[in-house]
Structure 1
Amino acid sequence: MLAAKVRAVERLLGRAVDRVHECPCGDLGYRMKISLRVTRDKEKDGLPRFAWHEPKSKHLTFLDKSFPIAHERINKALPVVLDRIQKDPSIGHSLFETKLHTSLLGDLMISLVYRVPLTETVWSPAAEELGEAVREATGATRVNMIGRSRKQNIVLGNPYVLEKFPILDGDGVSHDFWYRQSAEEFSQPNGLMNNIMLQWAADATRLPANDRPVENDLLELYCGNGNFTSVLSKFNYEYTLASEIGRVGVKDAIWSLAKNKSHQAKVVRMSSHEMCQAFFNERQFQRLREVDLDDYLFRTIFVDPPRQGLDVGSVRILSTHQGQIIYVSCNPVTMKRDIEAIRELSPFKMEIKELVCFDQFPNTDHLELGAVIQMTPP
């Protein structure tokens, strides 16, 4: 199936793929986060059970007590959680969704989402007891429990998992990069593949020491929790400016930059549309009061947009850029659309120097892409 996905990408983009990164753990146990519905199985015993939507289907499929594509730690937790859902009304009553998120570092976070408000004095002791039972069953370093309903969010522990990825610098020395992956913010669901993507991005943006310009800065749009920002700003650039619209994502990115000693990077909470307005001096923003865009000389612009691709403002920024563009995409169709839009608007010559595939979700139609694009004078 992977070969067919790669051929489809090559036909779509009209270019051969330079390298394909297969999932290191194969097609089992790769998902670090899952979301499951909780619903009663009326055809079996009437008890609440976990269910999920099959890809491209609206029908729910009931699970047994395991989910093969999920990480081993999640699978060890599932039967413990399900047992409490079925037996303890403090946990199971009005529950309709369960989210589990683990990390390679060993953290585990369980979010229980309810239809009705929770009584904190009842729910919290039961959830704390469940968290301890899960920790004993899974060997997790810590288990964070979250109870959510409309306008209510009870957190026992941290509202995130800690993650760590080892990345090699240009001298082959390994550095550990730390991250907070929060409950309701995006993070890459395949931790092992994310490690590979981070290493690829570090290598793709690295210049030889004798070829590195004095002013060598990075602009990153859609930076999320600083997943790429921390590595790239520390290894390959003098100064970095990154933008993200999500409030929690910005907090996590700032934490990551400080933890990883990426001191020459700044994160601002701005949408890509607002960043476009600031970039072209069309509007002044209080959030940029300590940032002078004229002080930066961006050699690289890095984008990792959501599935719908780049917004109009981001396309506009990229079309005026002379230098390197790194485009990470989870949707080849919108990536093709965006590349064509940039090419049409830009006065510069565009060349895709490298195109790589990351099999983030084996045995599915999904394929993550990374493109190194060079914009040069015609």
Structure 2
Amino acid sequence: MALHRVNTDDYRQQLAEKAQRLQEAYRPYTDLEPEIFPSPPSHYRLRAEFKVWHEQGRAHYAMYREGEHKKPFVIDEFTVGSELINQLMPKVLEAVNASEVLKKRLFSAEFLTTLSGDALITLIYHKKLDEQWRAEAQALQEKLGFPILGRSRKQKVVLERDYVTEQLDIHGRTYQYKQVEGSFTQPNGEICRAMIGWAMDACADDEGDLLELYCGNGNFTIPLAGQFRKVLATEISKVSVASAQDNIRANGVKNLDIVRLSSEEFTQAIDKVRPFRRLGDIDLDSYDFSTVLVDPPRAGLDPDTCAMVARFSRILYISCNPHTQLENLAELTKTHRIERFALFDQFPYTDHTESGLLLVRK
């Protein structure tokens, strides 16, 4: 399904059906009904990527239908995209079509926006970007009031910055995040805010220290740090770790350390299987971990990480793939019971479902 145009009247019914399917799938492990966090029915997506289709001397935005990746179709609106994306799309396209330099061999345009009104536009080419391109892009940047980034093979041209700044108001406090182009960020801003608030509520009565695996740019980590004595978080992406360090400083967090380790490496470290130079300044024995937060990729937790996570008294498990979360629950529910269960509708009008679980040791 191509989501450039949706019928918002169908949203509530689709969400109810999605919740019913999720509850039935999890019934072997819990009788709880999921707490449902609906998305705004339109303009919810903060990032978008479009193919640029050239026809009769003009550039157009285009998308593909599922299973038809050789047959793009031209679009002139994107109602699931943020209002800022929809405002910028025609302005960028008009400028591209008015400039042979900007238009020539342009094959993709990406938009990254925030709830707080920031934006970054990335133009991607099958050609080397020269000084003439830079001058034209600079003029477009000044006209739009938002930064332009140029990419081609082995080339990245940053005119001003390669990131946006997001501000999320959660439980009476504003958190600031640097989100770098090309790194992972939550695509649905309102659902992101709901997920963080739900995680904070789930940990409200916790005591001890927090371990987080797959922490990204500190999306969950930074707000949760205020509810624990100490926090240790891990992430494998260098770009995300650097962003997280910037976000720690921007939010004035003092009790949080982030290290660049995969979940498999951290499992080896905590089991003292092997030392890691990246943990040189971290004394793992000084932590009294009571809770572990995991938000893994679609593959879920590997067997060793799943076994390590099961040692914790409380497990907060955010999943972008209920199928692999269910596979992990076959092991985790041997030692833990589900106390909270949530559905986060990150991608309305699709079968995609994101879920949240709080598991407590039996």
Same fold? TM cut 0.5: yes
Q: Paired residue for 2:139?
A: 129
| Structure 2 CA distance for aligned equivalents of residues 85 and 289 of structure 1 | 50
Deviation string, structure 1 residues 180-238 (Cα, Å, up to 9, x no partner): 1110110001111111111111111111xxxx54xx1000000000000000012x100
Secondary structure of the residue that 1:96 maps to in structure 2?
strand
- How many angstroms apart in 2 are the aligned matches of 1:360 and 1:107? 20
Q: Give the corresponding residue for 2:44.
A: 30
Which of 8, 16, 31 is the aligned partner of 1:3?
A: 16
Aligned residue in 1 for 2:37: 21
1:90 partner letter: V
For residues 140-196 of structure 1, the C-alpha deviation after alignment (integer angstroms, 9 at most, x for no partner) is xxx12111112111111211100011111xxxxx11100011101100011111111
Contact 1:360 1:367 in 2 (8 A): yes
Runs of 4+ in structure 1 over 4 Å off: none
In structure 1, the residue matched to 2:326 is 336
- Could you tell me which residue of structure 2 aligns to residue 81 of structure 1? 92
Q: Distance in 2 between matches of 1:313 and 1:163?
A: 35
| Structure 2: runs of 5 or more not aligned | 1-13
**CA–CA separation in structure 2 for the residues paired with 1:104 and 1:73:** 9
Alignment of 1:280-359 (within 5 A): 280-319=271-310, 321-343=311-333, 349-359=335-345
Q: CA deviation at 1:60?
A: 4.5
User: In structure 2, what is the equivalent of residue 374 of structure 1?
Assistant: 360
Taking the TM superposition and a 5 Å limit, the aligned residue runs for 1:73-152 are 73-119=84-130, 121-135=131-145, 143-152=146-155
Summarize deviations over 1:74-117 as a string: whole Å, max 9, x none: 11111111122223122121111111011111111011111222
Q: TM-score of the superposition, structure 2-length normalised?
A: 0.91
* Aligned partner of residue 11 in structure 1, secondary structure: helix
Structure 1 range deviating more: 87-96 or 53-62: 53-62
Deviations 1:312-355 (CA, angstroms, capped at 9, x unpaired) = 34213212x131100111111111012223346xxxx2101110
After TM superposition, the structure 1 = structure 2 runs for residues 103-252 of structure 1, keeping only pairs within 5 Å, are 103-119=114-130, 121-135=131-145, 143-168=146-171, 174-207=172-205, 213=207, 216-234=208-226, 236-252=227-243
The letter of the residue matching 2:340 is E
* Counterparts of 1:241 and 1:95, CA distance in 2: 43
Q: In percent, how many aligned pairs have the same letter?
A: 34
CA RMSD between the two structures: 1.6
Contact kept, 8 Å, 1:65 with 1:75, in 2: the verdict is no
Residue 39 in 1 paired to residue 53 in 2? yes
Q: Which residue of 1 aligns with 2:347?
A: 361
1:99 and 1:229 map into 2 onto residues whose CA distance is 27
CA positional deviation for 1:66: 1.9
Q: Evaluate the alpha carbon distance shift between residue 202 and residue 56 of structure 1 in structure 2; reply closer, same or farther with a 3 A threshold.
A: farther
User: Is the contact made by 1:218 and 1:302 (CA closer than 8 Å) also made in structure 2?
Assistant: yes
Q: Measure, in 2, the Cα distance between the counterparts of 1:60 and 1:305.
A: 33
Amino acid of the structure 2 residue aligned with 1:150: R
- Which secondary structure does the structure 1 equivalent of 2:361 belong to? strand
Give, in whole Å, the separation in 2 of the partners of 1:192 and 1:60: 33
Contact 2:214–2:234 (Cα < 8 Å) also in 1: yes
Q: Which amino acid aligns with 1:129?
A: A
Q: 1:263 to 1:56 in 2, by over 3 A?
A: farther
Instruction: Sort the Cα spacing of 1:292 and 1:67 in 2 relative to 1 into closer, same or farther, 3 A.
Output: same
